[in-house]
Structure 1
Amino acid sequence: MDKPSLTVANRSVAEWLSSLPTLILLLLTIFLASGEVIHSQLLKIGENTWEGYFLLRGAGVVEQPTCNRDPDLDQELAKAIKQKKQQMADDPLASIFGTDVDEAALRQSLESSRHNCRGRWERYELIQDKATPGVIAFRTLEGGVAKVVTTLGNYKRLLLCLLVMICAATATLTRHHISLRPAHTRKDHFVSSLGQLAANIMLLLSAWLYRGEEISAIADGVQVNHFYLHQFWIAGFLLLSFAAFYQLIRPPKDLEEGGTWGKAMLTIPLYSFMCLTAGAQFISQGYYHGISVYLGMMMELSTLFLSLALYIWIGMLLRQTKMAHLVFDVLRPWKMSPELMCFVVLAVAAVPTAYTGASGIFVIAAGATIYNELVRAGARKQLALAATAMSGSMGVVLRPCLLVVIIAALNNSVTTDELFTSGLKIFGLSLFLFFIYSQFARTAPARIAPFSEAVPQSLKRLIPLLPYVIIMGTVVVFFRDLLDTELNENYAPIILPVMLLAILAYEKLSTKSLHVFTIVLLPLLIYSCYNLWGINNALDAGAIPTGTSAEELNDLFWGLFWRNAILGACLAIYYLVKTPDMDPHYQPEPGVGEKMESSLRFATNETTGHIGALLMLMALSVSVGGIIERSGVMEMLPETFPSIWVAMTLLVVTMVIIGMIMDPYGAVILVNATLAQIAFDNGIDPLHFWMITLVAFELGYLSPPVALNHLLTRQVVGDEEVESAKVPGGNFYRRYEKFLLPIAVMLTALLLVSYVPLMSDSLHEFLFQKIQAGAH
């Protein structure tokens, strides 16, 4: 990468104008996501520190009551009677309802008013007596946090809009948008830039027309929410248009000559293809602002898409660490055959894939490492490319994948617990199928080192990973025990950035920082063990707290017990056993910083481009879904089918096609609006249907014509390396193994998950078990 010619404070102008605003928006998103947790903990601290804090929060805010707490009831009653009689005398219709005054009712009303007045005075005086300067200061802090969180919560759509526009402009200027092939020649660059310019101008016109439509609606008395966003969309699309025009007139100097127009068309970013296709269809229908309408639908899920942006940042931070290399160090002594190594890598990679949103981010973060290590282990390049691409999709059904959270948020027919429980079983099936297919396709005998040789070396190489376990454990225990926040699908976007920043501090600042985490972790573990003793006594005495059950309390006990035992063992082993040197083969990858500051800068710079590329692709996928929805194609499917087998077949084929041409995040919105109810009406269980959908999307990640994970693999591995993997001779399977192996695995899994449960009620119940609320 060329050094930028213009810098300010050793930072390029691009970093000041794109990476810095992106970092600020991401940090605001983290604060917004954690705001409720912070505020609830502040309330708990206040209540534990000052009795009746919820009442004391009114100190300095509640005004002194103006009512009389000791009125003369007889005098007040006489006034009330006189006033009532005067009202009746002035009312010509009063005689119809009677002219008698109910003195008893008036007295009771006056006594009730006196009681309420005295209560207000008592509360006011109590607040004044107990409201010390400490209470007022804490109340000011807690109230300020609540106000900031509430204010930011009202502008989540604006945060997402700004994030998309800034990052999309950066992706345009850095040629980072996702396309079927990169631009190498001047002809490629011209076609690609022209396609982006046309798409951005179409987006600009759509946003302008949509604003005009809503102005007309307001004039007609229709209430329009979030009208202010139109100005930001228009300004953003105008910025994108200028960026694309600049790219068009200022091509890079390293472009080659030659090329064909056909191949040049493949360099147009996918979002531009989607925009132009959807826009043309909307225009033909007279729905000129259709694209912007569906962008507004994306804003309805602003919280989830902001979480996705955080997951992208998490993935880029992960890339700055040595964790992936250290994991391979543990596997290397086993000297596994390439196919067996791929199987193990997919099993291990599924977890970080799920924790980075299963959007292909893990491929960007660790794909180069996975590919190079598999090739070092003897894997043929086609097999290594297949496994690298699959490493970014196998975790889509595992906790805490964001795609599953979106499904649960869109409908009430399934819960995240049910989806993740079934997903674990489906993941096991997919992994087993990969093992079977890869073994049939192997070119050499399967091998593995003797256990007596591999186990000692592998255990020895686990020791360098112990600091990471200690650091991650400290973060998890801190959030779990002090902030009552678990590392799950709801709070992973908050906790994971903290965890990775802590790891970078250990790697880049000083390894001695591990002692700080140890000092924090030890008292937390001691306190947790004290709580375990209390839980055990409660279980023995049968004193189960209200709102929980003995089974839940027992599960909590053993969960905390094993957590504390594992972390305690890691601390003991690390400080008592000599740490071996890291594998000598490790070499820092390009784009990985040597210091904390450079690592954060590189991670944020990469995050900016990836957010722009992925979110623009997802945003336009929603518009493509709108075209499909409005085309009436889905309505052509009958509401009921002759049999559940026919219904299942048509639904599976339809979802595979959707998964192949659309981003899964946009596709799941379309499927929820169209196919889901058809499936339910034909007797397909909701949990069964959504697991089929997820597996179909996994297949879509890996299947042409888009094959997003293969595109991302090419991006991180390099065009030259991918080209070198081509097999000039050999059979059809060997030439296209990187596509055929993943498709065979996921297609078989899809067929098994779709049809076999229909044949067996017991298998259906096992795979798609409903979880009662409060039973987990």
Structure 2
Amino acid sequence: MEKRTPTFLRRSPQEWLSSLPVLLLLLVVVFLSSGQIIHSQMLKIGENTWEEYFLLRTAGLTPAPECDRDPNIDQRVNEIAEQRKAEADSDPLGDLLGGGAVNRDAIRDSLLATRANCRAKWDRYQTVQDKVTPSVVAFRNIEGGIATLVATLGDYKRLLLALLLLICAATTTFQRHHIALRPSRTRKDHVISSLAQVVSNSLLLISALVYRGSDLRAAQAGVTVDALYLHSVWIAGFAILTAAAVYQLVRPPRGLEEGGSWGKALLTIPLFSFMCISASMQFYGQGYFHGVSVYMNMMMELSTLFLNLALYIWIGMMLKQTRLTHIVFDVMRPWNLSPELMSVVVLAFAAVLTAYTGASGIFVIAAGATIYRELIRVGARKQLALAATAMSGSMGVVLRPCLIVVVIAALNKNVTTAEMFSAGGKVFLLSLLVFFIYSQFARTTPARIAPFAKAVPASLKRMVPLMPYGIVVGAVALFFNDLLARQLDEFSAPIILPVMLLAILIYEKFSRHVVHLCALFMVAMLVLSWQGVWEGYQALTAVGDGALPASALPGSMAPQELEAALWSDFWRNLLFMVFLLVTYLVPGDRDPHYAPEEGVAENFEGSMRFATSETTGHIGALLMLMAMSMGAAGIIERSGVLEALPETFGSIWIAAGFFVVALVLVGMFIDPLGAVILVNAAMAPMAEANGISALHFWMIALVAFELGYLTPPVALNHLLTRQVVGDDEVESAKLKTGSFFRRYEKFLLPIGVMLTALLIIAFLPLISDSVHGWLFQRIEAG
């Protein structure tokens, strides 16, 4: 008989102790990220509503001036003159230095200036008292409260990250969800996997204790130590993780298989445990007992980036709860594409979504199962479907607004996000073309595509259900863009995308009437936007006719900048009008029905629970892996290997070849963010010294990392594919007959594509300066 999980108020202990705290932490992070934008806009609203609001907002917060507005000037002149004369008389050198004379006019001028300054203070104070109203005070209290809350939370970002990591890691441990080379199926697997987690978590606990002692001694010696309280959090957290691993060891789950081998059981050890144990042994051998904690604590210095990564994972899990991927596949279905051509289209579509979900692994987790099923539905062989699923997140890491690029630009001042995304678009098209060529050579059936006359109308008809989503997403975009003055870009994506996904889930799961509210808001904003476009056009015309100087343009923009902005608003508004017209005027099925899926709820509350629960497990798995990657990077950094490398290789070709190999190896064993930190410190300066431009080097690095994530022995993206597709399905795809390529196509096809793209990107620009200049074009800021 299956054991029932105890519940309280229809929620499991995990939901109360894990999912709910994580949801609250994620909402706090969203508020913290958007709070500064909201506060800035509130200041603008206050200044536009009440004259001198910046002065009025101090009402009740500053005391009345203590100076005298009407002093007796003559009396004060006499007092000061007598005082100075007395001081001069008592000075034996006063006569020699000419101090006997007192300048009464200078004293009077000084007193008059002091009186004027005092009266100005009283005038400002009185103005505030006369003009302030209850509405100003109420608005000031809200605005000031937001400012105080944002500033306070901003000081505790590291605590938020530490709590998020530890809560999620404990949940991942109980769920047996840590990333490993093989899933744990047998009793031997369970013993080895759990024992490794007990050892690794115990080593982390010991390291945290030693690190705390070291910092306490430094603090007692007078050294300033930041966030000393975090040590207690880490110690308590690692103690809980150790206890959780011990509990898992002594209370194995039901249904474990018998048999297996101890050798294969070693492959079930989580990757973070491998890294933690190996790094700890290296550090212990050097007498550096708190080394792992020191390098792990480097995450805290980049707390904003890792908190954004958690938001991206949440975005991906909410996307999984929506019908968007199903509707998009419905749009493509009338084209009746052959499996290989469908894979090309899927990878192009997935690349865009990958850029908006932060990293390749996150998108594989979010949409990998749907991609795999849809490719199987169109007749793709399982090996091809697994290859495309693993690659689905690999091509979008170079597209705007991917988080990895933002991290690189934040760490390395020689490149900008604009330059990297410009070059990344070209790299993406090259990679997609290479995949198309390889897939056509590897196809087993003739390429096919439906006639355009038949496919286009059917595809357009199936786009009708997408239009309400365009309205909901567009309304959120207009809210941030036109009201909060924040566009959707690589910096605001972690703020805006969660709000968009929440709005979509409310529309899908809670009430279809939400689209009407969004439409009303969109119409109002479009009216204002069109008015602004018309006024901007008139201003441009007046400047062109000489009736107005260029300095009179809105926002003090140059004519070319204003014209570009007006065209951007014009096409944006036109697109939103298409969404509105199609939704309300074109007949069609706007509510497509799909078979219920496991792990996807039919109501909003259930969707949020499922999304947050999955987010918790994935955050724990990925952040622990990234944290231990910091330790692995520390081993490399302290080993002296990097210092042993030559500063220059004598040939740019040799240097490029070295970086290609080294970066792929880094990508095979270290997660993206940890790899970026290590490479930026160790290899980026070497590349510059060898004549490889920073932009060229980082494009090589991004493609090499993705090749590493697809290459055994680790092949992280394939491990994530196994998690979402299922172990049994992956095992069923194995072939015992056929050519070597067919039997291992899920590995060889992605490796061949990414390796070819990497070699082209690394070496072709070295042959031709024109190619280099076109691919890695410098973009001047402003």
Give the TM-score normalised by the residue count of structure 2. 0.97
Distance 2:467 2:612 in 1: 27
8 Å CA contact retained: 1:660, 1:703 = yes
User: 1:98: how far off?
Assistant: 4.8
1:608 counterpart letter in structure 2: T
1:135 paired residue number: 136
Report the 3-state secondary structure (helix = DSSP H, G, I; strand = E; otherwise coil) of the residue aligned with 1:489.
coil
User: 1:580: how far off?
Assistant: 2.8
Report the 3-state secondary structure (helix = DSSP H, G, I; strand = E; otherwise coil) of the residue aligned with 2:462.
helix
2:548 paired residue number: none
1:525 counterpart letter in structure 2: L
1:728 paired residue number: 736
2:581 counterpart letter in structure 1: A
1:612 paired residue number: 620
8 Å CA contact retained: 2:464, 2:590 = no
Report the 3-state secondary structure (helix = DSSP H, G, I; strand = E; otherwise coil) of the residue aligned with 1:233.
helix
Out of 558, 564, 567, the residue aligned to residue 555 of structure 1 is: 564
User: 1:4: how far off?
Assistant: 4.7
Per-residue CA deviations over 1:219-276 (Å, capped at 9, x if unaligned) read: 1111111111100010000010000000000000110111111111111111111111
Distance 1:714 1:97 in 2: 92
1:39 paired residue number: 39
Out of 643, 651, 654, the residue aligned to residue 643 of structure 1 is: 651
User: 1:646: how far off?
Assistant: 1.6
Distance 1:267 1:104 in 2: 91
1:570 paired residue number: 579
1:37 counterpart letter in structure 2: I
User: 1:770: how far off?
Assistant: 1.2
Distance 1:177 1:2 in 2: 24
Per-residue CA deviations over 1:600-654 (Å, capped at 9, x if unaligned) read: 1111111111111111111111111111111111111111221211221112211
User: 1:466: how far off?
Assistant: 0.9
User: 1:116: how far off?
Assistant: 1.6
8 Å CA contact retained: 2:359, 2:404 = yes
CA shift in 2, pair 1:23/1:89, >3 Å: farther
- Give 1:368-407 correspondences, 5 Å limit: 368-407=369-408
User: 1:112: how far off?
Assistant: 2.6
1:720 counterpart letter in structure 2: D
- Give 1:462-541 correspondences, 5 Å limit: 462-541=463-542
User: 1:120: how far off?
Assistant: 0.7
Per-residue CA deviations over 1:146-174 (Å, capped at 9, x if unaligned) read: 00000000000000000000000000011
1:751 paired residue number: 759
User: 1:764: how far off?
Assistant: 1.0
2:58 paired residue number: 58
1:81 paired residue number: 81
- Give 1:44-123 correspondences, 5 Å limit: 44-88=44-88, 98-100=98-100, 101-123=102-124
User: Larger deviation: 630-639 or 368-377?
Assistant: 630-639
Distance 1:177 1:155 in 2: 27
Say if 2:676 is the partner of 1:664.
no
* Structure 1 residue ranges without an equivalent (≥5): none
Out of 587, 593, 597, the residue aligned to residue 601 of structure 2 is: 593
2:507 counterpart letter in structure 1: Y
1:715 paired residue number: 723
User: Larger deviation: 543-552 or 63-72?
Assistant: 543-552
Report the 3-state secondary structure (helix = DSSP H, G, I; strand = E; otherwise coil) of the residue aligned with 1:8.
coil
CA shift in 2, pair 1:581/1:120, >3 Å: closer
User: 1:297: how far off?
Assistant: 1.0
Distance 2:427 2:94 in 1: 77
Say if 2:634 is the partner of 1:626.
yes
2:546 paired residue number: none
Distance 2:723 2:320 in 1: 15
2:21 paired residue number: 21
User: Larger deviation: 547-556 or 194-203?
Assistant: 547-556
Distance 1:426 1:662 in 2: 23
1:202 paired residue number: 203
Report the 3-state secondary structure (helix = DSSP H, G, I; strand = E; otherwise coil) of the residue aligned with 2:297.
helix
2:768 paired residue number: 760
Distance 1:308 1:597 in 2: 23
8 Å CA contact retained: 1:187, 1:258 = yes
* Structure 2 residue ranges without an equivalent (≥5): 544-551
Distance 2:601 2:308 in 1: 25
2:218 paired residue number: 217
CA shift in 2, pair 1:370/1:93, >3 Å: farther
Out of 663, 669, 672, the residue aligned to residue 655 of structure 1 is: 663
8 Å CA contact retained: 1:4, 1:12 = no
8 Å CA contact retained: 1:634, 1:674 = yes
2:547 paired residue number: none
User: 1:3: how far off?
Assistant: 7.6
Distance 1:312 1:404 in 2: 17
Distance 2:95 2:618 in 1: 79
Distance 1:221 1:69 in 2: 48
Report the 3-state secondary structure (helix = DSSP H, G, I; strand = E; otherwise coil) of the residue aligned with 1:117.
helix
User: 1:711: how far off?
Assistant: 0.6
User: Larger deviation: 639-648 or 445-454?
Assistant: 639-648
CA shift in 2, pair 1:114/1:633, >3 Å: same
Distance 1:277 1:86 in 2: 81
User: Larger deviation: 168-177 or 69-78?
Assistant: 69-78
CA shift in 2, pair 1:98/1:224, >3 Å: farther
Per-residue CA deviations over 1:560-591 (Å, capped at 9, x if unaligned) read: 1111111111211121111137667x322200
- Give 1:233-382 correspondences, 5 Å limit: 233-382=234-383
Distance 2:98 2:772 in 1: 73
Distance 1:265 1:420 in 2: 41
Distance 1:241 1:425 in 2: 47
Distance 1:319 1:3 in 2: 29
Distance 1:719 1:610 in 2: 17
Distance 1:93 1:12 in 2: 89
Distance 1:693 1:188 in 2: 35
1:623 counterpart letter in structure 2: G
CA shift in 2, pair 1:95/1:319, >3 Å: farther
Report the 3-state secondary structure (helix = DSSP H, G, I; strand = E; otherwise coil) of the residue aligned with 2:268.
coil
User: 1:485: how far off?
Assistant: 1.1
1:77 counterpart letter in structure 2: V
User: 1:502: how far off?
Assistant: 1.2
Distance 2:675 2:67 in 1: 61
Report the 3-state secondary structure (helix = DSSP H, G, I; strand = E; otherwise coil) of the residue aligned with 1:176.
coil
Distance 2:90 2:359 in 1: 75
8 Å CA contact retained: 1:166, 1:612 = yes
CA shift in 2, pair 1:216/1:461, >3 Å: same
8 Å CA contact retained: 1:525, 1:564 = yes
CA shift in 2, pair 1:120/1:3, >3 Å: farther
Per-residue CA deviations over 1:662-714 (Å, capped at 9, x if unaligned) read: 00110000011111111112221111111111111111221122211111100
8 Å CA contact retained: 2:360, 2:396 = no
Distance 1:91 1:393 in 2: 84
1:456 paired residue number: 457
8 Å CA contact retained: 1:22, 1:608 = yes
Q: Kindly, what percent of the aligned residue pairs are identical?
A: 63
